[in-house]
Structure 1
Amino acid sequence: MRLLLTSAGVKNASIHRALVELLGKPIADSSALCIPTAQYGHPMVGPGVRAWQFISGNSENPMVDLGWKSVGVLELTALPSIDEERWVPMVRETDVLLVAGGDALYLCHWMRQSGLADLLPSLSETVWVGLSAGGMVMTPRIGEDFVQWRPPAGDDSTLGIVDFSICPHLAQEGMPGNSMAEAEQWAAGISGPAYAMDDETAIKVVDGTVEVVSEGHWKHFPY
């Protein structure tokens, strides 16, 4: 799987170019499925109007509204109640999964419960575009600062597809988001490599190679 882990979606030309590179073809020729599930688990996001805004392409985070050939909805909480034959082929045939932000642990739980997490290793050509929690779910852990919904296991571990953690929404002191001081404090408790990145930044991962794509500010915490 090819990853584009963003703080706030495809916010600028650099991130847009990185997405097209990962797809290997124009967005207009690519099919997409959007996954709103993470939104339902976060008290400040959903359910309700924010989920509709993401699915309909009316949010402030450019993802669904980029001009795809087709866009469908993949709701993970529904998948355990339907046969795999009804959704697995659709996922395999889709070029890109557009994954909303919200609660990373809630998303992780339903990725495992639905079977999507088990399917990921076989999706070698699929692009995963994660918005905030949609990117954090691919990391080993999110840190206690980001825990809102507590999973049955009780810890802050996520899928570990990549070997680094992410603090999104890095912001200037006094602005909405996470300050550098807060990011540094968070990184100190992660016990592993990590990145803090603002909303103009994304992390591209292909075959284990990590590339930061940014028109803004970010910081790497090696350990």
Structure 2
Amino acid sequence: MKFLLTSGGITNTSIHDALVDLLGKPIAESSALYIPTALYANPNGPSMAARLIRGETNTAPFPDEFTSLCELGWKSLGVLELTALSSIDEERWLPLVQETDTLLVEGGDPLYLCYWMRQSGLANLLPKLPEAVYVGVSAGSMVMAPSIGEYFVGWKPPTDGDRTLGLVDFAMFPHLDNPSLLPGNSLANAEKWAAGMPVPSYLMDDQTAIQVVDGVVNVISEGHWKQSTP
């Protein structure tokens, strides 16, 4: 699987162009499945999911935050709700995932998302989709790391702890220096978080994304970011 791990979504031309490059064709010729699951553990999550699916938040081409992945002009767009998958037959959803060009994974709570990725079977399926592009926003990106750190623990899974999927070998601190969204996500707090992480970390603002293809990491940014090693 090819990864485009963003902090705030497709917020500038560089990140947009990286997505098109990963797809290997225009967005208008590509299919996508939108995964809103992580939102539901947050206050007003269901209403935010509905607004993002309808494209009702910040409809400018590259808004500063809360970019809707659904309004990029996909050839086809479906919603894949992970909490429903374990209760229905695989034949009703598995072919759709295997055939889609892109998985759009929304932000919210990373541990809630991780839990349902495992429960639904999607976590085991992702490494078997070599040509698909995974686009994460905030928690949708963080869940790919081996762990997220105590700073980001909100919803707690039955197993406790901060372990996530580990499909990449680094961690991410999103929304760096965005006081209107998360006032606590200052550089000082990000560096304190990074010092306690067991893997290399990227501290990234909402104009930054990390592209990973075949294990090769490339930072794409029109903003600011910092790499930290443990």
TM-score, normalised via structure 2 length: 0.93
Q: Which residue, out of 75, 97, 104, partners 1:98? A: 104
Q: Which structure 1 residue ranges, 5 or more long, are not aligned?
A: none
Q: Which residue of 2 aligns with 1:29?
A: 29
String of CA shifts for 1:94-125, please: whole Å, max 9, x gaps: 00010110000000000000000111111000
Counterpart in 2 of 1:58? 56
Runs of 4+ in 1 over 2 A off after TM superposition: 57-60, 174-177
Post-superposition shift, 1:58? 2.3
Structure-1 residue corresponding to 2:134: 128
User: CA offset at residue 55 of structure 1?
Assistant: 1.7
Q: Distance in 2 between matches of 1:69 and 1:199?
A: 26
1:197 matches 2:196: no
Matched-pair contact (CA < 8 Å) for 2:53–2:68 = no
**Is 1:153 matched up with 2:159?**
yes
Structure 2 distance, partners of 1:42, 1:151, is 15
Superposed, which structure 2 residues align to 1:63-212 within 5 Å? 63-171=69-177, 176-177=181-182, 178-212=185-219
Q: Distance in 2 between matches of 1:221 and 1:114?
A: 33
Instruction: Give percent identity, aligned residues only.
Output: 64
How many residue pairs get matched? 220
Deviates more, 1:205-214 or 1:57-66: 57-66
Tell me the equivalent position of 1:220.
Answer: 227
CA distance in 1, matches of 2:152, 2:12: 26
User: SS at the partner of 1:129?
Assistant: strand
Supply the distance in 1 between the matched residues of 2:209 and 2:158 (Cα, whole angstroms). 30
Contact 1:54 1:100 in 2 (8 A): no
Normalising by structure 1, what TM-score? 0.96
Structure-2 separation of matches of 1:118 and 1:28 = 29
Letter in 2 for 1:161: L
Kindly provide the CA deviation profile for residues 182-220 of structure 1, in whole angstroms up to 9, marking residues without a partner as x. 100110111220000000000000000000000000000
Give distance in 2, aligned partners of 1:56 and 1:119: 28
Shift of 1:62: 3.6
CA-atom RMSD in angstroms: 1.1
- Shift, 1:161, TM fit: 0.2
Amino acid at match of 1:78: A
2:2 aligns with 2
Instruction: Evaluate the alpha carbon distance shift between residue 107 and residue 176 of structure 1 in structure 2; reply closer, same or farther with a 3 A threshold.
Output: closer
Conserved 8 A contact 1:11-1:62: no
- 1:102-158 CA distance string (max 9 Å, x none): 000000000000000111111000100000000000000111010110001100000
